[in-house]
A and B are shown apart, each in its own frame.
Chain A
Amino acid sequence: MDALLDTGAIALLLAATVRLAVPVGFAALGGVIAERSGVYNVGLEGMILLGALGAAAGTLATGSPIAGCVVGVALGVAGGLLLGLLSITFHVNQLVAGIAINLLSAGLTAFLARGLIASLFGSSSVAGFSQVRLPGLAELPVIGSALFTQDPLAYALMVLTVLVAFVVYRTHAGLRLRAAGENPRAADSAGVNVTQVRFTALAMSGAFAALGGCHLVLSQIYMFSEGMSAGKGFIALAAVILGRWHPVGAVAAALFFGLCEALQLRLQFSNPNVPYQIFLILPYAASLLVLVWFFGRSRQPAAAGQVYERESR
């Protein structure tokens, strides 16, 4: 364990933590927005994949990773709207709709990647974002290199987290969002168009999850690979819980999950005798304990998971 303790190693570990946390953090923000509006987004996993495929195809087609992000986000929004169409318009159970979107996205992205990316572009590896050292901040000891020598999308996550928290808690739009998730009937009486709020929230939710996929392709792997979301969408759902449905909390939880992931990767190589699975279980066990311990004080939006029908009583 000594190797874990010197400052150079800690800085490396923290940098890995942030890098691993970014996709989960984006998806968790998307999860917070969706659940705050009253819809479970179990389809985050699929929307990450859609974002990843869009990022790869967009970048290959234009040569610009920013254009790649735009295409990725557009696909994510499409996924979010599909979830809205199914769960809000057709009253399909939100979980079933989410699972369907995950299966559809996994199959569709793999199918398109094999068929299209290979034949249209010849190559599958993309030019992504490179790391940007923020002058001044990057010189800070230990955290400087971890937090401020990252790629543009990691900085975007930091800014967006604060922005989402501000919008959710300090603006009229945020109030309507929370009202739709807590008490849609009252919100409706007060003139809030619950359907519209939920559709908007799901579109944004898909966009955020897709940005997580963009980060995987443009800042980590530099190509699209099948199933590259690897459960990050589900981990994001856990981060939403651990973060107690607060944007900052959810991203902090994503960082904690990133730390656990970085630790288990390191342990697998350096200390084979310590069961690394402890760190794989820790995020989920922590989320469960949060649910049990903060019971009553931490709860999901009251109307999450429920169909809202105007005419029903």
Chain B
Amino acid sequence: MNRMLDLAIGLRIPIAIAAALLTGSLLIAAGSGDPVKAYGLLFKEAFLDYWGLSNTLVKTSPILLAALAVIVPLRAGLYNIGGEGQIYIGGLFATIAALHLDGVTVIVALPTVILAAMTGGALWAALAGALRAWRGINEVIVTLLLNFIAIHIVSYAVSGPMMAAGAPYPYSDEIPQSLRLPILMPQTDAHMGVIFGLTAAAAITFIFMRTSIGMALDVAGRSANAAQYAGLNVKRQIVLSMATGGALAGLAGGIEVLGLKYRLFHLFSAGYGFDGIVAAFMTNAHPALAPVSSFFLAGLQSGANVMQRAAGIDGTVVEAIVGIIIIFVAASLAWRTDLLRAFLRKGDRDEIPSVQVSRVESK
């Protein structure tokens, strides 16, 4: 019984996702579709079909980097809702750099462009971090506001100073051929971007598991007072973790330009910053799991269109199902497992020291 319970608690995220998909099947059935057929098509197209998989991978890279952009500050106790804005500024910086480095050898130019993207995102996020650190202004509000400002700055840039000559609608010039990321799967759009995402996930996992930098962030996130007492510069941790998150989101924006779009235009990111928040929370802020959740979310999105075409079920249902998934996963993570255990073990409560039954966690 107890082992079953431990297993259920350990697997609560997959269980919650399964429950959400089950709930979603009611929606599909309500839309007079066959849920089994619809899900079958959705997952087959998203993960098993060559073209579908390439489409999934294209979406995975920005979502994964945006998820990491949420996870790093979250470990330090900060909510970065500004991934979307950081993606835009990253894309802007990358495009400016790429357009100015035409003719420069790739070995120099590509790292410079990527560095520019990361710097742009980092600065944009550090602004929120600094306001939080020195003025105590809620980073949720600031990053949210900065999203809109960033989107409109890019809109201004591509319809004004960066607009391609003779362009029918606002977009920038194309970046030089030499700077475009190599394609991973021949004949498709699937580019190398996902390698960047996986490398970043591995690096951040290592930082949190093995280094004092990660440890310091974790401590600052759990208790600012304890961190201060231990001699950590909490203000610096705040700015640093936000800037690191911003750099990752900025990289996502840069890669979107270098790997897929090849130019900058208004609304070039399809809400990947917000998908990243979802992907991050599905992992309970664990960087090593972020590739899995991002791949899954990307697959749901890329499979949605096919489901619509083949099974006649409107693709918008997938958006609703993603909403249900977050609700279920978030509820399963927030669920007080210690209370659940205590409740289920009521029968043999005498054997449990009273300390275990009483509340351990406090806010």
Chain A interface (Cβ < 8 Å from any Cβ of B): 40, 86, 90-93, 95-97, 99-108, 110-111, 114-115, 226, 231, 234-235, 237-238, 241, 275, 277-278, 280-281, 284-285, 287-288, 291-292, 295, 300, 305-307, 309, 311-313
Q: A277 and B145: CB pair below 8 A?
A: no
Q: A86 and B314: CB pair below 8 A?
A: no
- The listed residue (A114, A275, A295, A309) touching B363 by CB distance below 8 A is A309
B residues in contact with A278, CB < 8 Å: 156
Question: Mind listing 9 A-B residue pairs with CB under 8 Å?
Answer: A96-B326, A102-B323, A107-B323, A111-B314, A235-B148, A280-B155, A287-B145, A291-B142, A312-B362
A105–B330 CA distance with the chains assembled, in angstroms: 17
A residues in contact with B326, CB < 8 Å: 96, 99-100, 103
Q: B320 and A90: CB pair below 8 A?
A: no
B residues in contact with A237, CB < 8 Å: 141, 144
A100–B148 CA distance with the chains assembled, in angstroms: 20
Identity of the chain B residue whose Cβ is nearest the Cβ of A46 in the assembled complex: B323
Q: A108 and B152: CB pair below 8 A?
A: no
Q: Which one of B44-52, B132-140, B344-352 contacts A? A: B132-140
- The listed residue (A40, A92, A103) touching B322 by CB distance below 8 A is A103
Given known A-B contacts A86-B327, A93-B330, A291 and B140 have beta carbons under 8 A apart: no
Given known A-B contacts A100-B326, A288-B142, A300-B138, A91 and B336 have beta carbons under 8 A apart: yes
A237-B144, A277-B152, A295-B135 are known; give 19 further A-B pairs, CB within 8 A: A91-B334, A96-B281, A101-B323, A103-B278, A105-B323, A107-B318, A110-B314, A111-B317, A115-B30, A235-B148, A237-B141, A275-B159, A275-B160, A280-B152, A281-B153, A291-B141, A295-B137, A305-B140, A312-B363
Given known A-B contacts A92-B334, A311-B359, A291 and B155 have beta carbons under 8 A apart: no
Binary flags per residue of B154-189, CB closer than 8 Å to A gives 1, else 0: 011001100000000000000000000000000000
B343 located at the interface, meaning its Cβ lies under 8 Å from any Cβ of chain A in the complex = no
Q: A107 and B317: CB pair below 8 A?
A: yes
Given known A-B contacts A107-B319, A111-B27, A234-B144, A86 and B153 have beta carbons under 8 A apart: no
Q: A107 and B320: CB pair below 8 A?
A: yes
Identity of the chain A residue whose Cβ is nearest the Cβ of B317 in the assembled complex: A111
> Which A-B residue pairs are the 6 nearest by beta carbons?
A104-B323, A107-B319, A107-B320, A103-B323, A110-B316, A100-B326
B131 located at the interface, meaning its Cβ lies under 8 Å from any Cβ of chain A in the complex = yes
- The listed residue (B140, B144, B322) touching A107 by CB distance below 8 A is B322
Identity of the chain A residue whose Cβ is nearest the Cβ of B32 in the assembled complex: A115
A309–B326 CA distance with the chains assembled, in angstroms: 23
A288–B145 CA distance with the chains assembled, in angstroms: 7
Q: B142 and A95: CB pair below 8 A?
A: no
B196 located at the interface, meaning its Cβ lies under 8 Å from any Cβ of chain A in the complex = no
B111 located at the interface, meaning its Cβ lies under 8 Å from any Cβ of chain A in the complex = no
Given known A-B contacts A90-B334, A281-B152, A284-B149, A108 and B323 have beta carbons under 8 A apart: yes
Q: A103 and B319: CB pair below 8 A?
A: yes
Identity of the chain B residue whose Cβ is nearest the Cβ of A94 in the assembled complex: B140
Identity of the chain A residue whose Cβ is nearest the Cβ of B31 in the assembled complex: A115
B residues in contact with A281, CB < 8 Å: 148-149, 152-153
B5 located at the interface, meaning its Cβ lies under 8 Å from any Cβ of chain A in the complex = no
Interface positions, chain B 293-325, Cβ under 8 Å from A, are 314, 316-324
A95–B330 CA distance with the chains assembled, in angstroms: 11
B272 located at the interface, meaning its Cβ lies under 8 Å from any Cβ of chain A in the complex = no
- Residue in B136, B314, B322, B330 whose Cβ sees the most chain A Cβ within 10 Å: B330
A99–B317 CA distance with the chains assembled, in angstroms: 17
A242–B277 CA distance with the chains assembled, in angstroms: 25
Given known A-B contacts A90-B335, A115-B31, A100 and B323 have beta carbons under 8 A apart: yes
B residues in contact with A40, CB < 8 Å: 140
A residues in contact with B318, CB < 8 Å: 107
B residues in contact with A101, CB < 8 Å: 323, 327
Closest chain A CB from B145 CB (angstroms): 5
Closest chain A CB from B320 CB (angstroms): 3
B residues in contact with A104, CB < 8 Å: 320, 323-324, 327
Q: A114 and B316: CB pair below 8 A?
A: yes
A108–B320 CA distance with the chains assembled, in angstroms: 5
Closest chain A CB from B119 CB (angstroms): 21
Given known A-B contacts A241-B141, A281-B149, A107 and B316 have beta carbons under 8 A apart: yes
B residues in contact with A114, CB < 8 Å: 314, 316
B residues in contact with A226, CB < 8 Å: 316
Closest chain A CB from B319 CB (angstroms): 3
Binary flags per residue of B1-44, CB closer than 8 Å to A gives 1, else 0: 00000000000000000000000000100110000000000000
